[in-house]
Structure 1
Amino acid sequence: MRFAKRLTGAVAAGILATAGLTAMAPSAQAATGWDRCPHGSMCTFSENNGQGSIAIFQFGSPDLRQQGMDNHVGSFWNRSGKWMKLWDGYNYTGDNLGSAPAYTGPINQAGIAPVSSVSGQ
């Protein structure tokens, strides 16, 4: 019986010590800018240089109104590992900008400022 009490006390002390270490551990900082775009995705940002709102795609979207990004894409990063296209019309119509894997860029310098759909190839 005495051994059981000591064991219970030792376990409780270990739990309290672990809880104390957890409480003191520094919190991880949230990703910002370009770093918010996960590997294997195509990301569009509402502002230049990966700033502002972000939309993340695996395959694309025929209508960026669904993501609240229609005509509000300021920059993009293609981390999908495949070619992607940004279109100025809905349902992948109109002029487009092809993006090679690993490309980042501002939309306004690419010559296709209003982006309304994104497709993967």
Structure 2
Amino acid sequence: MKFARALAVTAAIGSVAAMSTIPAHAATGYNRCPAGRFCAFTGPNGTGVIAIYTKSDRNLADRVGPRGMNNNIESAWNRYKWEFGLMNDANFAGKGVIYKSGAKGNVPKNLVNKASSVWFVRADQ
């Protein structure tokens, strides 16, 4: 009797564990960007690798912040309340594109895969 009860409990635990390993539907594309963040993507239309920012990153080629984004950004979504910019050169220099709060889309063709810094532009500065 004890063996049968233990076997039933083990079977029940096993079935619960099996159910909990079923993956939930993961967000795709732009929808991977959490609210209150600026997200940059290595592919067009929110595809590819995502990098999530809450502040500026002066040099995308250094070891600070998300890696692999230097000269490798094709689209972005600004879900933060202030503006963010993608700039061609480190230290927020060169040509760039500004994403106002709520803006998303592909980087302009002349700036695709050329961003080397992410600039947090506070509206109250």
TM-score, scaled to structure 1:
0.77
Superposed displacement of residue 49, structure 1: 0.6
Q: 1:60 to 1:15 in 2, by over 3 A?
A: farther
**Residue aligning to 1:117:** 117
Let me know the Cα RMSD of the aligned residues. 2.5
**Residue aligning to 2:88:** 88
**Residue aligning to 2:15:** 20
Inter-partner Cα distance in structure 1 for 2:95 and 2:56:
16
Q: 1:15 to 1:60 in 2, by over 3 A?
A: farther
**Residue aligning to 1:71:** 71
Superposed displacement of residue 53, structure 1: 1.1
Structure number with bigger Rg? 1
Inter-partner Cα distance in structure 1 for 2:58 and 2:82:
18
TM-score, scaled to structure 2:
0.75
Inter-partner Cα distance in structure 2 for 1:106 and 1:95:
16
Equivalent position SS for 1:60: coil
Inter-partner Cα distance in structure 1 for 2:17 and 2:36:
32
Inter-partner Cα distance in structure 2 for 1:22 and 1:118:
42
**Residue aligning to 1:33:** 29
- The structure 2 residue matched to 1:56, chosen from 45, 52, 61, is 52
Inter-partner Cα distance in structure 2 for 1:92 and 1:85:
8
Inter-partner Cα distance in structure 1 for 2:38 and 2:56:
8
Equivalent position SS for 1:49: helix
Point out 4+ residue stretches in structure 1 off by more than 2 angstroms.
13-27
Q: Is the 8 A contact 2:39 2:78 kept in 1?
A: yes
Q: How many residues align?
A: 115
Percent of pairs with identical residues? 33
Superposed displacement of residue 35, structure 1: 1.5
**Residue aligning to 2:41:** 45
Superposed displacement of residue 73, structure 1: 0.6
